[in-house]
């Protein structure tokens, strides 16, 4: 078997390519449907709200399964989970492409693609952490993966809109399936730095409780546009189930058994703050993607291509700042990059707020460009802070938790925006202003949270045990 050191010494950009492409296509899937709302709803005989529900459920399934599937990487191995997740995702994309109605679309897109993403994304971040151990090298690798994720989310409307207009919205899912095939071919050459542990116990009860709690809570947010009492009851029930999950975790720890998620992960102040910033970043990115795309299509009447082209401004911003994040981490404290990122993102949101009633879609470009620059700047340092705070033995857990928190942010963003759009559909600008104000408040909250992150001196060293061999 190839040794741990040999795997690392032979690590090249070719090893990073399938990992970055995997993050790209998963982020692409979370946003490309935003510009196809009208086409898909007409073809499938449903409403725009039905398609928005499918998008939110896709993100929710990812968030709910990311923690347990992250833990599975220990039992099955990182490469196995990556390959299996790609296969499940590919099947879901094909089913979505041929779906005759909303129900089958939810099966293919929301459930199978969501589950596949939850299975393949934790290995991406675990392998990056294990392959590149130095702070600068790891920051550069995370910079490329984060750039791929940010560009995927930002180009989803552009590429999806172009494919939908040129061929069909169904071809956009075919595009995803083709990319998955390419990633599978590239991923076969990857080597797992650690041996799998098939006899390691898996906390089934904890997995069910964590997933159920998150699902019920987000469904409560979605229900608030129809029945506020039911919504509050569901959110309270979700919080109750999550509380029960942590009680179960503590119970297992007191008995000396291994839970799904160790409470020790939450005793790291740096990681906790970093997780909050990750949640806010993806909430803002996916929330604004759904908000602007829905507004331009439903209220302004633009088609998929026109809407997608406008999002090229955000794509450019994310690409430029994400690629620059790696070199910037070597020159500036990661805290400073995250703070500045939230400030720039807030400025972008203000620009988007100002142009709500300005005629023409290109008025949104400066705000989207600024927002993209801000989010791209902080994606890499936020991920690097969290992953580097733990040794390799805990990478399965923290990677699953980190990706779950990020995708939960995406779910919150889409759920909050879609709910506010429905509640304020008859208001001026179609609820656009009402949905944008909470996002601006989140950006301000991100600035405050990131100020409490430690400076360079406390982030420069790799995590303890990061260079140990199994």
Write out pLDDT tens, residues 144-178: 887 788 778 777 877 888 888 889 999 999 999 99
Question: Tell me, what's the pLDDT at 423?
Answer: 53
Largest CA distance in the chain: 65
Q: What is the dihedral of CA 341, 343, 348, 353, to 10 degrees?
A: 150
Overall average pLDDT of the 107-120 stretch: 92
C-alpha span between 263 and 357 (Å, rounded)? 48
Helix (H) or strand (E) holding 341: helix 334-354
Average pLDDT, the chain: 82
Task: Tell which wins on pLDDT, 134 or 368.
Answer: 368
Question: Tell me, what's the pLDDT at 2?
Answer: 44
Please, which residues have CB within 8 angstroms of residue 441's CB and are 6 or more apart in sequence?
none
With 70 as the cut, is the pLDDT of residue 180 above it? Answer: yes
Overall average pLDDT of the 74-92 stretch: 92
pLDDT band at 231 (very low <50, low <70, confident <90, very high): confident
- Integer Rg of the chain from CA: 21
pLDDT band at 3 (very low <50, low <70, confident <90, very high): very low
Contact (Cβ atoms closer than 8 angstroms) between residue 323 and residue 147: yes
pLDDT band at 340 (very low <50, low <70, confident <90, very high): very high
Q: Per mean pLDDT, which of 354-368, 383-397, 423-437 is the most reliable?
A: 354-368
C-alpha span between 92 and 105 (Å, rounded)? 9
pLDDT band at 7 (very low <50, low <70, confident <90, very high): very low
Residue corresponding to tokens 């309270």? 236
Please, which residues have CB within 8 angstroms of residue 348's CB and are 6 or more apart in sequence?
367, 368, 369, 370, 371, 372, 373, 374
With 90 as the cut, is the pLDDT of residue 244 above it? Answer: yes
Question: Tell me, what's the pLDDT at 125?
Answer: 82
CATH match for 10-191+260-458 among 1.20.1250.20, 2.40.110.10, 3.40.50.300, 1.10.10.10: 1.20.1250.20
The answer to pTM > 0.85 is no
Task: Tell which wins on pLDDT, 199 or 19.
Answer: 19
Question: Tell me, what's the pLDDT at 442?
Answer: 94
29-33, 38-42, 200-204, 352-356: least confident range? 29-33
Question: Which structure tokens are listed for 50?
Answer: 């039905």
Contact (Cβ atoms closer than 8 angstroms) between residue 59 and residue 411: yes
Overall average pLDDT of the 92-103 stretch: 94
pLDDT band at 464 (very low <50, low <70, confident <90, very high): very low
C-alpha span between 206 and 257 (Å, rounded)? 12
């Amino acid at each position: 078997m190839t040794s741990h050191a040999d795997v690392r010494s032979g690590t090249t950009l070719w090893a990073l390519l399938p990992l970055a492409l995997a993050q790209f296509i998963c982020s692409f899937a979370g946003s490309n449907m935003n510009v196809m709302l009208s086409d898909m709803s007409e073809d499938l005989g449903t409403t725009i709200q039905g398609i928005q529900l499918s998008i939110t459920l896709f993100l929710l399934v990812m968030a709910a399964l990311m923690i347990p599937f992250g833990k599975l990487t220990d039992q099955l191995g990182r490469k196995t989970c990556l390959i299996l997740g790609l296969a499940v995702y590919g099947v879901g994309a094909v089913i979505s492409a041929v779906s005759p109605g909303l129900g089958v679309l939810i099966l293919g897109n929301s459930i199978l693609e969501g589950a596949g993403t939850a299975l393949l994304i934790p290995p991406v971040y675990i392998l990056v952490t294990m392959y590149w151990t130095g702070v600068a090298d790891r920051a550069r690798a995370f910079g490329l993966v984060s750039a791929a994720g940010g560009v995927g989310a930002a180009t989803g409307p552009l590429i999806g809109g172009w494919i939908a207009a040129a061929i069909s919205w169904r071809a956009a899912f075919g595009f995803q399936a083709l990319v998955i095939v390419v990633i599978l071919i590239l991923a076969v050459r990857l080597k797992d730095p650690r041996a799998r542990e098939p006899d390691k116990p898996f906390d089934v009860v904890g997995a069910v409780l964590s997933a159920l709690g998150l699902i019920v809570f987000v469904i409560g947010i979605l229900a608030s546009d129809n029945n506020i009492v039911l919504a509050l009851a569901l959110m309270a029930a979700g919080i109750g189930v999550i509380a029960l999950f942590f009680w179960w975790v503590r119970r297992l720890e007191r008995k000396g058994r291994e839970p799904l998620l160790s409470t020790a992960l939450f005793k790291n102040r740096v990681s906790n703050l970093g997780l909050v910033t990750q949640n806010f970043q993806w909430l803002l990115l996916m929330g604004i993607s759904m908000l602007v795309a829905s507004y331009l299509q439903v209220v302004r009447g633009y088609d998929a291509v026109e809407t997608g082209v406008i999002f090229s401004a955000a794509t450019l911003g994310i690409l430029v700042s994400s690629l620059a994040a790696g070199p910037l981490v070597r020159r500036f404290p990661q805290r400073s990059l995250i703070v500045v990122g939230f400030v720039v993102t807030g400025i972008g949101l203000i620009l988007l707020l100002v142009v709500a009633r300005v005629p023409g879609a290109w008025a949104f470009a400066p705000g989207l460009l600024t927002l993209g620059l801000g989010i791209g700047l902080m994606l890499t340092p936020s991920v690097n802070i969290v992953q580097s705070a733990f040794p390799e033995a805990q990478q399965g857990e923290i990677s699953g938790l980190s990706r779950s928190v990020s995708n939960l942010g995406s779910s919150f963003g889409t759920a909050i925006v879609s709910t506010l759009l429905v509640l304020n559909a008859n208001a001026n600008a179609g609820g656009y202003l009402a949905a944008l104000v909470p996002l601006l408040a989140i950006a301000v909250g991100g600035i405050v949270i990131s100020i409490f992150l430690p400076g360079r001196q406390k982030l420069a060293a790799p995590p303890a045990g990061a260079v140990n061999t199994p």
